[in-house]
Amino acid sequence: MAMEVSNKENEEQIGTEVTPNYRNFPMVPRVIFGNGCFNQLGEILLPKRKSVEAPIIFLIDDVFEGTSLISRVPLFPNDQIIFISAEEEPKTDQVDILVKQVRSEFKELPLGIVGIGGGTLLDLAKAVAIMLNNKGKSEEYQGWDLVKKPSIYHVGIPTISGTGAEVSRTTVLLGPEKKLGINSDYTTFDQVILDPDLTKGVPKEQWFYTGMDCYIHCVESLNGTFLNAFSQSYGEKALELCKDVFLEDLEESESRDKLMMASWHGGMSIAYSQVGVAHAMSYGLSYLLGVRHGIGNCLVFQYLEEFYPEGVALFNKMIEKHNISLPKGVCSDLTDSDFDIMINVALSLEPLWENALGAEWEKHISPEKLKSIYQKI
Ligand SMILES: [Fe+2]
């Protein structure tokens, strides 16, 4: 996630002084937090139900199919649940198919889209909400501020913590040519429901890898050249929460609460700064090999001690404490042209490198360097 343009990117001359053109970015306008607050979804949606014909569409991770959570979804007769597998990263094609399906089944535009799941489901919900009100294919909107019309009302309900997708103004999609976010003021959710109870039962490795996405957001934001007091204030809090969750022995419910808020603060931190080396290289892994975002970040981050020495040392302690063994040999069978594909994807993410290494980042990194890191993975 988090493919924001730096607030330092554009500068304009005012009088004799050069002042940065600060980014005016949207935040989630409504959020509810607390164990069991999912039960308030019905009353939250009620004021939006202005037509009896138009549905609310619930996009839900298919791991919840047949579970008690589904019976708690406040369905009206015309509403629809669409179960979606989060086994793979969200794709532009997948968004286009979902939009076509919804348009063909209902005469009226839906009243809202509700995404329930991890980063994949949240990103799909954001993208579908945008594309229901915009023409063409979703790949045409991958980039910065290309969305023309407001999205329809959309709600995000995370069931795993760490990606920060619940707060970000992007939805990262794998397209035919690139893995890139639809970054826009219309991407951000209108409502988020943070119910830590929903994260009960997440498999341990998935919990760890997704939590490390948040931890790496903090490290990359706090060690970046784009850092400012806004980002720092959120990043430091998120880092403190991550340390509590992954290095202390907390009660399970306290751990769930804290990781959910770490994800939120980590997302807020990168909203006004940027991620860095691990994310850039992880995008390459994901593009070529379909490696999931959280684990991809971990696979790269373990070898980034020269960029983030303290961050990697702490990461190793977390890995050890939770007995996580990262896969090995992921890149061992790759050809030179495979490496080139990953390197090109990684290096194309210029704002990430500029944040990590400064304006003259190209002098400090080379394709050979990236290849040597990928070869270790
Ligand atoms: Fe991330």
Task: Give the residue from 271, 69, 286, 44 showing the smallest Cα distance to 158.
Answer: 69
pLDDT tier, 22 (very low <50, low <70, confident <90, very high otherwise): confident
User: 265 and 367 in one domain?
Assistant: yes
Q: What is the mean pLDDT of residues 36-60?
A: 96
pLDDT digits (tens, 9 = 90+) for 270-279: 998 999 999 9
User: 363 and 218 in one domain?
Assistant: yes
**End residue of a domain, out of 178, 199, 220:** 199
Under 8 Å between Cβ of 188 and 26: yes
Determine the 3-state secondary structure of 178 from DSSP: coil
Q: Cα separation of 114 and 60, whole Å?
A: 8
Domains held by the chain: number? 2
Lowest pLDDT segment from 39-53, 171-185, 244-258: 171-185
For ligand 1, the distance from its centroid to the CA atom of residue 79, given in whole angstroms, is: 32
Whether 10 shows a pLDDT value over 60: the answer reads no
Position with higher pLDDT, 134 vs 4: 134
pLDDT, residue 8, reads: 42
Residue 288 lies in a domain: yes
For ligand 1, the distance from its centroid to the CA atom of residue 356, given in whole angstroms, is: 15
Q: Cα separation of 17 and 149, whole Å?
A: 35
Domain that holds residue 276: 204-374
User: 241 and 110 in one domain?
Assistant: no
For ligand 1, the distance from its centroid to the CA atom of residue 83, given in whole angstroms, is: 24
pLDDT, residue 69, reads: 98
For ligand 1, the distance from its centroid to the CA atom of residue 1, given in whole angstroms, is: 5
**End residue of a domain, out of 147, 173, 199:** 199
pLDDT tier, 106 (very low <50, low <70, confident <90, very high otherwise): very high
User: 155 and 47 in one domain?
Assistant: yes
pLDDT digits (tens, 9 = 90+) for 143-176: 989 999 999 999 999 999 999 999 999 999 998 8
For ligand 1, the distance from its centroid to the CA atom of residue 283, given in whole angstroms, is: 10
User: 212 and 141 in one domain?
Assistant: no
pLDDT, residue 14, reads: 47
pLDDT, residue 21, reads: 81
For ligand 1, the distance from its centroid to the CA atom of residue 218, given in whole angstroms, is: 10
Judging by beta carbons within 10 Å of its beta carbon (0-12, 13-18, 19+), is residue 128 exposed, middle or buried? buried
pLDDT tier, 107 (very low <50, low <70, confident <90, very high otherwise): confident
For ligand 1, the distance from its centroid to the CA atom of residue 285, given in whole angstroms, is: 13
Whether 54 shows a pLDDT value over 70: the answer reads yes
Average pLDDT, the chain: 94
For ligand 1, the distance from its centroid to the CA atom of residue 272, given in whole angstroms, is: 14
Task: Give the residue from 143, 122, 164 showing the smallest Cα distance to 272.
Answer: 164
The predicted model scores a pTM of: 0.93
Q: Cα separation of 303 and 292, whole Å?
A: 18
pLDDT tier, 16 (very low <50, low <70, confident <90, very high otherwise): low
User: 234 and 128 in one domain?
Assistant: no
For ligand 1, the distance from its centroid to the CA atom of residue 270, given in whole angstroms, is: 9
For ligand 1, the distance from its centroid to the CA atom of residue 106, given in whole angstroms, is: 35
Q: What is the mean pLDDT of residues 29-39?
A: 98
pLDDT, residue 15, reads: 54
pLDDT tier, 178 (very low <50, low <70, confident <90, very high otherwise): confident
Under 8 Å between Cβ of 121 and 61: yes
Whether 3 shows a pLDDT value over 70: the answer reads no
User: 145 and 262 in one domain?
Assistant: no
For ligand 1, the distance from its centroid to the CA atom of residue 198, given in whole angstroms, is: 21
Q: Cα separation of 328 and 324, whole Å?
A: 12
pLDDT digits (tens, 9 = 90+) for 110-128: 999 999 999 999 999 999 9
Q: What is the mean pLDDT of residues 349-369?
A: 96
Report the percent of the chain where pLDDT is more than 90. 90
Chain length of the chain: 377
For ligand 1, the distance from its centroid to the CA atom of residue 196, given in whole angstroms, is: 20
